[in-house]
Amino acid sequence: MNIQLLQGQFDAKDAIDLITNMIHIKVKYHENKINNSSSEEDIKFRETKIKRLQKELYEFRNNIDEKNGNVKLDAIIQIGI
């Protein structure tokens, strides 16, 4: 099963806003899990994921800021059961 989250051409500012909000939701998810975890291993794992997401967002923003015009976004969640 697939869920199409994003598909199409977006103004650079809108693309940054969309991706930033999506990443912030994922970061918040991991922060909530950290707050409810007692496992040091799980906390470190989630902190690493948060840092990676923040780094990727930083790189994305820098890349898109250099562009003029539209940005093509295509985001699909693939669900395997």
Residue with tokens 């940005």: 71
Q: What are the pLDDT digits (tens) for 25-76?
A: 999 999 999 999 889 999 999 999 999 999 999 999 999 977 778 999 999 9
Rounded to whole angstroms, what are the CA distances from 16 to 58, 74, 79?
Answer: 10, 13, 25
What pLDDT is stored for residue 10 in this prediction? 94
